[in-house]
């Protein structure tokens, strides 16, 4: 998906692009763009829900102005990993850690959604900056949507492609060395929050954080 975010004073707003299933133990894969006051950088928040459990937020500053042009935001989701990409740069990996007791989203299909909504109770500086409705309308633009996946009814258990699709191949079961270098650069230069290192909120390190190389 190509997205151009809300320009100017967008404080309090959240532009979202995400996948979600539809039940109480839902799975969800989120891109959330947290609005800002004019001149301040946008924050991109990602999150992963499995079996109704989220609280896996990571936040990064984008290294460009996302309001003056379209940029690609994409998700690779297979049985091995979930990878969030910005302009083909991996910014986050969530590995299948079923062997560690961590649920992974593959038992239920997800639909694709986009939304623009008011979240001024938390989105900008923890809710200190409120939405200025005199700046409305707030407009985000989308184009170039493309999805490559297997169709499944809401009753399907999982997408069983038996290794035939491109996303099942070895090259997509892990990042390559170049991609890991780019991911490390994002973490070093642009990451401002990672739930894996938040000991005040999570005294014990979540088990997936080690496999995701988040520590």
Residues noted as catalytic: 28, 32
202, two tokens: 């999570």
DSSP string, 117-179: EE-TTTTTGGGTSPP-GGGPPP--EEE----------TT------TT-SGGGSGGGSS--HHH
3-state class (DSSP) for residue 196: helix
Rounded to 5°, angle at Cα 200 from 199 and 204: 40
């Amino acid at each position: 998906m190509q997205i151009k975010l809300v320009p100017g004073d967008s404080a309090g707003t959240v532009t979202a692009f995400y996948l979600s299933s539809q039940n109480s133990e839902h799975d969800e894969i989120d891109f959330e763009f947290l609005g800002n006051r004019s001149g301040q950088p946008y924050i991109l928040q990602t999150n992963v829900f499995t079996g109704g459990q989220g609280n896996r937020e990571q936040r990064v500053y984008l290294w460009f102005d996302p309001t003056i042009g379209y940029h690609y935001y994409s998700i690779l989701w297979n049985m091995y990993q979930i990878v969030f990409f910005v302009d083909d740069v991996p910014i986050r990996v969530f590995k299948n850690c079923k062997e560690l007791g961590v649920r992974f989203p593959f038992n239920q299909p997800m639909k694709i959604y986009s939304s623009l909504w008011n979240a001024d109770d938390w989105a900008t500086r923890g809710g200190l900056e409120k939405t200025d409705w005199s700046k409305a309308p707030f407009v985000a633009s989308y184009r170039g949507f493309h999805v490559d996946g297997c169709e499944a009814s809401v009753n399907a258990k999982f997408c069983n492609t038996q290794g035939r699709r491109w996303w099942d191949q070895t090259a997509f079961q892990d990042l390559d060395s170049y991609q890991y270098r780019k991911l490390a650069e994002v973490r070093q230069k642009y990451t401002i929050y990672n739930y894996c290192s938040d000991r005040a909120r999570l005294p014990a390190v979540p088990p997936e954080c080690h496999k995701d190389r988040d520590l």
